[in-house]
């Protein structure tokens, strides 16, 4: 039986200009808010921390020097 990628979190490797899918799924979970981000809407991530973010604002807040 084929496994559907729907309703399953994907595992991604984040790179400077994109990402590579390590394990298929239809979304990732925002590291700051916990909200689901559909793969086709993913635009913001932290390469060093390997974390996705739902918005530029959330990414900026999470990555700002403390």
Rounded distance, CA 19 to CA 3, Å? 22
Name all contacts of 15-19 with Cβ < 8 Å and 24+ positions apart.
15/47, 16/47, 19/45
Q: Where are the domains of the chain?
A: 11-63
Closest CA to 22 of 30, 10, 31: 10
Query: What pLDDT score does 3 carry?
Result: 56
Each residue of 40-65: pLDDT tens digit? 999 999 999 999 999 999 999 999 99
DSSP 58: H
**pTM of the entire structure?**
0.88
């Amino acid at each position: 039986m084929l496994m559907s990628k729907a309703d399953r979190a994907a595992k991604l490797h984040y790179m400077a200009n994109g990402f590579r899918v390590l394990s298929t799924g239809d979304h990732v979970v925002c590291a700051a808010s916990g909200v689901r981000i559909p793969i086709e809407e993913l635009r913001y991530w932290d390469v060093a921390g390997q974390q996705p973010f739902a918005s530029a604002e959330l990414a900026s807040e999470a990555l700002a020097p403390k």
